[in-house]
Amino acid sequence: MQPQLRALLARIQQREVGELLGGVFSDLNRLLGYLDGVSVAARPGGSADEALFLLGVVRSEGLAAACGLDSLHAETGLPAGLQEELERAGFALRHELKIVFERILPGPGAAELFPRVREAHDLLRNCFQQSTIALARVFEPGLDGASLFEDLRLKRDNSRRLYEDLDALLRSARHALWRGDAAAQWLFAERLEDFRGGSIQYLMEKDRDACSRFAEEFKFARRFGGARFFLRRFSCYLELLLKHVGMRSVLAGASQELAA
């Protein structure tokens, strides 16, 4: 368990509540440990069987943890805020496990297995981390989640860069649409290629593929006189994508700063 969580537990005056919460943190931390093994097994040259076995362990222990959270939520004498977060955490665990094992992992062919395993890993890791952070914030509202999880700090920085680059790309597309000349279109094309070589990697795979297709379409649109129609379509897509990125949990609380 992270030192920050141990210190937080030590500050809780009700010993029973501290012990209860410590058990929940330990369960979530153990689930995250299994996911570390999934991440290693899902790397190139890794073992699909090992990854699936570990995900099976996560499923069984995650459902057990969710049942435990339900039982704790029903206990009397707990702070109201803690009861609410225990209920949310139990629901979140069951919900994300259902998505992973009923929607993400089932699928035809072994060739696409590793991408599905990585998607499952990312979804569950985010769930376990965010549940830990939300429970800790009951007793320390100003807690920075990135101080607990090293990868969250990196994800936050990458997501911030992605948001800023998407915003700049959208402004460039609108400018090219407004100007309608070759120079503005060339500047947009250059910014689009910079984006493809940089922060596009921080998008989800389906959005990376969509942006890459748009970039190829723009080459043809410029050649055959369809640039304005393309820019309208791409601007609408970028607006939606920008909103989705801004809603990422790692950027929670940074919306005003990003909008500035």
For the chain, the distance separating the N- and C-terminal CA atoms, rounded to the nearest angstrom, is 37
pLDDT of residue 35: 97
Q: Is the Cα torsion angle 193, 197, 199, 202 positive or negative in sign?
A: positive
Q: CA 168 to CA 190: how far, in whole Å?
A: 12
Contacts 24+ apart (CB under 8 A), 201-206: 202/158, 202/159, 202/161, 202/162, 203/162, 203/241, 203/245, 205/115, 205/119
Give Cα 70 distance to the centre of its chain: 25
pLDDT of residue 221: 82
pLDDT of residue 137: 94
pLDDT of residue 256: 47
Using CA atoms, how far residue 222 sits from 18, 186, 192, 198, in Å, is 63, 9, 14, 23
Q: Which residue in the block uniquely carries the two structure tokens 């000349």?
A: 181
Q: What is the 3-state secondary structure (H, E, C) of 171-223?
A: HHHHHHHHHCCHHHHHHHHHHHHHHHCCHHHHCCHHHHHHHHHHHHHHHHHHH
Q: Is the Cα torsion angle 101, 103, 109, 110 positive or negative in sign?
A: negative
The pTM for the full model equals 0.76
Is residue 83 classed as helix, strand or coil in its secondary structure? helix
What is the CB-side half-sphere exposure of residue 59 using CA atoms within 13 A? Answer: 14
Residues 6+ apart with CB under 8 A from 162: 199, 202, 203, 245
For 97, list phi and psi in degrees, rounded to 5. -65, -40
Is residue 90 classed as helix, strand or coil in its secondary structure? helix
Question: Cα–Cα–Cα angle for 57, 60, 64, nearest 5°?
Answer: 135
Q: What is the mean pLDDT of each run of 10 residues along the chain (260 residues)?
A: 92 91 96 96 89 96 94 80 93 96 78 85 94 95 87 88 95 92 91 92 88 88 84 93 88 58
pLDDT of residue 66: 95
51-60 in b/e burial notation, b at 16+ Cβ within 10 A?
bbebbeebbe
